[in-house]
Amino acid sequence: MHSRALFVAAALAAASPSFAAGPMGAEWAIAIHGGAGVISRTGISAEDDKAIRAALAEALDAGAQILKSGGSSTDAVVAAVSRLETSPWFNAGIGAVLTSAGTVELDAAIMDGASQGAGAVTGVTTTLSPIALARTLMDKGPHVFLAGPATDAYARTHQLTQVPNSHFVTERRLKQLQDLRQRNQGASLSLPAELRMGTVGAVARDVNGNLAAGTSTGGLTGKSPGRVGDAPVIGAGTLADNRCLALSATGSGEMFIRARVASQICDRSRFGGQPLQQAADEVLAEVKAMGGDGGVILLPPKGEPLFAFNSAGMYRGRASGSGLHEIKVYGDE
């Protein structure tokens, strides 16, 4: 090969994006969330507070145990999020909010920071674990994003557990929808603040330094059937990239999409040199200016997991190989 050709080849290789694995022997870490919003000490009984913290701790420990034993960040995210999907305390899976038609429509997404592989689903109605469905789509393809009846059909093709839509419905969510109807409120964007929030998610870094992020949600109480929020949108509510972060968001989905929350935080850090905490705080301030509330959990390629939110509280937890292990609920913790 001529020297000029060698030079051009080398230049192209240098300019190509690299999604290489992280450093061997990295410190594992994980963070989870169970939604953000109007979460106050006066609004949650001591008994419920204890039960919510226990559910968060169970999910956090499920993911942490995988990481401690050398498992992958993606496996840890699925383990944590799937536990949250089975808890009636959170707006995902069992206990998800109801649409204006009185049904449950679930969304989820997952992303691998090393390969940039991703899977996203929306409008899931009968698949027990939307995050497991998103993981299957990421691993087996051929597409990245599926919507509507195609999601459950794909799940059946891959032998994922199916349940009646009623399996996800709880009395608490039925009452929320009834209360909303009695107020004669419109759908989604005109909801009172206490009904607008709710999503679950996890971010993780394994001992190989690879990042992953996953998010799962039922969306908004009284939402229009077919509505899609930010959770399944890669770059809005979910993102993992070994070069900058793993992130899962919760909050006012329409505003999080418009602000490109996950991608903007990543870009501010990767290209603008901002510390991740500063980038997250400033982007959430933009969301607030749009009229949106919510928060993010984020994990850098090195260091401890971070939280940022502009609401009264966020169900959250984090753990790491350094011995960090905490569960928090209110904004003043």
Question: What are the catalytic residues?
Answer: 199
3-state secondary structure (DSSP) of residue 227: coil
Q: Where are the beta strands (DSSP E) in 115-193?
A: 118-124, 145-147
Q: Residues near 6 by Cβ (< 8 Å), separated by ≥ 6? A: none
To which H or E segment does residue 92 belong?
none
Residue 145: count other Cβ atoms within 10 Å of its Cβ: 17
Q: Return the structure tokens found at 151.
A: 């999601």
Q: Going by DSSP bridges, is the β-strand pair 145-147/200-205 parallel, antiparallel, or unpaired?
A: unpaired
User: What one-character-per-residue DSSP string does 5-71 give?
Assistant: HHHHHHHHHHHS-------TTPPPEEEEEEEEES--TTTS-HHHHHHHHHHHHHHHHHHHHHHHTT-
Q: State the Cα–Cα distance between residues 322 and 243, nearest whole angstrom.
A: 22
DSSP states along 47-58: HHHHHHHHHHHH
Question: Strand 211-217's sheet: what is its strand order?
Answer: 145-147, 118-124, 106-112, 211-217, 200-205, 29-37, 313-320, 325-330
Distance of CA 101 to the CA centre of its chain: 25
